[in-house]
Amino acid sequence: MANENPFKSILKTLEKPGGEFGKYYSLPALNDPRIDRLPYSIKILLESAIRNCDEFQVKSKDVEKIIDWENTSPKLVEIPFKPARVLLQDFTGVPAVVDLACMRDAMSNLGGDSNKINPLVPVDLVIDHSVQVDVSRSENAVQANMEFEFHRNKERFAFLKWGSNAFQNMLVVPPGSGIVHQVNLEYLGRVVFNTNGLLYPDSVVGTDSHTTMIDGLGVAGWGVGGIEAEAAMLGQPMSMVLPGVVGFKLSGKLRDGVTATDLVLTVTQMLRKHGVVGKFVEFYGEGMSELSLADRATIANMSPEYGATMGFFPVDHVTLQYLKLTGRSDGTVSMIESYLRANKMFVDYSEPQIDRVYSSYIALNLRDVEPCISGPKRPHDRVPLREMKADWHACLDNKVGFKGFAIPKESQSKVAEFNFHGTPAQLRHGDVVIAAITSCTNTSNPSVMLGSALVAKKACELGLEVKPWIKTSLAPGSGVVTKYMEKSGLQKYLNQLGFHIVGYGCTTCIGNSGDIDEAVASAITENDVVAAAVLSGNRNFEGRVHPLTRANYLASPPLVVAYALAGTVDIDFETEPIGVGKDGKKIFFRDIWPSNDEVAQVVHSSVLPDMFKATYQAITKGNPMWNQLSIPSGTLYDWDPKSTYIHEPPYFKSMTMSPPGPHGVKDAYCLLNFGDSITTDHISPAGSIHKDSPAARYLMERGVDRRDFNSYGSRRGNDDVMARGTFANIRIVNKLLGGEVGPKTIHFPTREKLSVFDVAMRYKSEGHDTVILAGAEYGSGSSRDWAAKGPMLLGVKAVMAKSFERIHRSNLVGMGIIPLCFKSGEDAETLGLTGHERYSLDLPSNVSEIRPGQDVTVVTDNGKQFTCTLRYDTEVELAYFDHGGILQYAIRNLIHTKH
Task: Answer yes or no: is 236 within a domain.
Answer: no
44 part of a folded domain: yes
Could you report the per-residue pLDDT of 825-839, keeping only the tens digit for each?
A: 999 999 999 999 999
pLDDT of amino acid 134: 66
Asked if 279 and 379 sit in the same domain, the reply is no
Residue 398 belongs to some domain of the structure: yes
330 and 420 in a single domain? The answer is no
CA atoms within 13 A on the CB side of 367: 3
> Based on the domain organization, do 362 and 411 belong to the same domain?
no
pLDDT: which is higher, 177 or 650: 650
Distance CA 91, CA 99 (A): 13
Q: How many domains does the chain have?
A: 3
Q: 395-434, pLDDT tens digit by residue?
A: 999 999 999 999 999 999 999 999 999 999 999 999 999 9
Is the separation of the CB atoms in 119 and 497 below 8 Å?
no
State the Cα angle at 428 between 425 and 433, rounded to 5°.
75
Residue 731 reports pLDDT greater than 90:
no
Q: Which of left, alpha, beta for 817 (phi over 0: left; psi -120 to 50: alpha)? A: beta
Judge whether 510 lies within some domain.
yes
Measured between alpha carbons, how far is 118 from 132 in angstroms, rounded to an integer? Answer: 32
- Summarize the confidence of residues 132-138 as an average pLDDT: 67
Which structural domain, as residue segments, surrounds residue 758?
665-684+726-883
The pLDDT value given to residue 462: 97
Any domain includes 854: yes
> What's the pLDDT score for residue 91?
79
Residue 157 belongs to a domain = no
Residue 761, C-beta contacts closer than 8 angstroms, at least 6 positions apart: 794
594/488 same-domain check: yes
Number of alpha helices (DSSP H) and beta strands (DSSP E) in the chain: 31, 34
Residue with the larger pLDDT of the pair 334 and 634? 334
What string of H, E and C letters represents the secondary structure of 409-453?
HHHCCCCEEEEECCEEEEECCCEEEEEEECCCCCCCCHHHHHHHH
Question: Are the C-beta atoms of residues 334 and 320 closer than 8 Å to each other?
Answer: no
Cα distances (Å, whole numbers) of residue 79 to 63, 298, 343 = 8, 29, 22
Mean pLDDT (whole number) for 585-604: 95
pLDDT digits (tens, 9 = 90+) for 462-484: 999 999 999 999 988 888 899 99
CATH of the domain at 847: 3.20.19.10
Q: Are residues 484 and 533 in the same domain?
A: yes
The packing angle between helices 875-883 and 806-814, to 10°, is 40
pLDDT, mean of residues 377-389: 94
CA-CA-CA-CA torsion for 623, 439, 89, 178, nearest 10 degrees?
A: -20
**Candidate ranges 97-111, 216-230, 849-863; pick with highest mean pLDDT:** 849-863
Predicted confidence (pLDDT) at residue 28 exceeds the cutoff of 90: yes
- Interval 275-322: pLDDT, tens: 998 899 999 999 999 999 999 999 999 998 899 999 999 999 999 999
Can you tell me the distance from the alpha carbon of 581 to that of 587, in angstroms, rounded to the nearest whole number? 6
Distance, CA of 264 to CA of 781 (rounded, Å)? 17
Say yes or no to pLDDT of 1 above 60. Answer: no
pTM score, whole prediction: 0.82
Task: Indicate the average pLDDT of the chain.
Answer: 92
Residue 114 has pLDDT above 60, yes or no: yes
Considering the domain architecture, whether residues 811 and 873 belong to the same structural domain is answered as yes
- Dihedral, CA atoms, 320, 324, 326, 329, nearest 10 degrees? 120
Phi and psi at residue 547, to the nearest 5°: -60, -25
Distances (CA, A) of 66 to 44, 103, 279, 531, 577: 10, 34, 15, 50, 57
For residues 52 and 64, state if they share a domain.
yes
The closest of 791, 641, 786, 653 to 716, measured between CA atoms, is 786
- Name the least confident of 376-385, 530-539, 588-597, 888-897: 888-897
Residue 654 has pLDDT above 50, yes or no: yes
Last residue of a domain, one of 561, 578, 607: 607
Residues 780 and 855 in one domain: yes
Shared domain for 316 and 430, answered yes or no, is no
Alpha-carbon distance of 149 to 129, in angstroms, equals: 8
Residue pair 685/847 in contact by the 8 Å Cβ criterion: no
In a domain, 756, yes or no: yes
Residue 558's domain is classified under what CATH number? 3.30.499.10
Is the pLDDT at 442 greater than 70? The verdict is no
Q: Are residues 311 and 459 in the same domain?
A: no
Q: Please indicate whether residue 176 or residue 759 has the higher confidence score (pLDDT).
A: 759
Q: Where are the alpha helices (DSSP H) in 54-207?
A: 60-67, 69-72, 90-109, 141-166, 180-183
- Please tell me the predicted confidence (pLDDT) of residue 642: 92
**Res. 821: pLDDT tops 90:** yes
Domain boundary among 318, 353, 370: 370
Work out the pLDDT band at 847, boundaries 50, 70, 90: very high
Q: Which residues pair with 194 in a beta bridge?
A: 199
Percent of the chain with pLDDT over 70: 98
Beta strands at 752-755 and 744-747: parallel, antiparallel or unpaired: antiparallel
Mean pLDDT of the 574-583 span: 95
Query: Does residue 376 have a cis bond before it (omega within 30 degrees)?
Result: yes
Average pLDDT over every residue of 522-543 = 91
pLDDT of 544 > 80? The answer is yes
- Whole-angstrom CA distances from 472 to 282, 370, 498 are 36, 26, 6
The three-point CA angle 745-715-781 to 5° equals: 60
890 has pLDDT over 90: no
Q: Which of 851, 750, 849, 840 is nearest to 798 (CA)?
A: 840
pLDDT score recorded for residue 899: 40
Say if 130 falls within a structural domain. Answer: no
Q: Decide if 775 contacts 674 (C-beta within 8 A).
A: yes
Q: In this predicted structure, what is the pLDDT of residue 382?
A: 93
Is residue 302 domain-shared with residue 406, that is, in the same domain?
no
pLDDT, tens only, 116-131: 888 999 999 998 766 6
Are 573 and 385 a contacting pair, CB within 8 Å? yes
Q: Cβ of 121: how many Cβ atoms within 10 Å?
A: 16
Domain boundary among 558, 584, 607: 607
Are residues 598 and 733 both part of a single domain?
no
Could you tell me which residue, 199 or 632, shows the higher pLDDT? Answer: 199
In the chain, the N- to C-terminal Cα span, in Å, equals 8
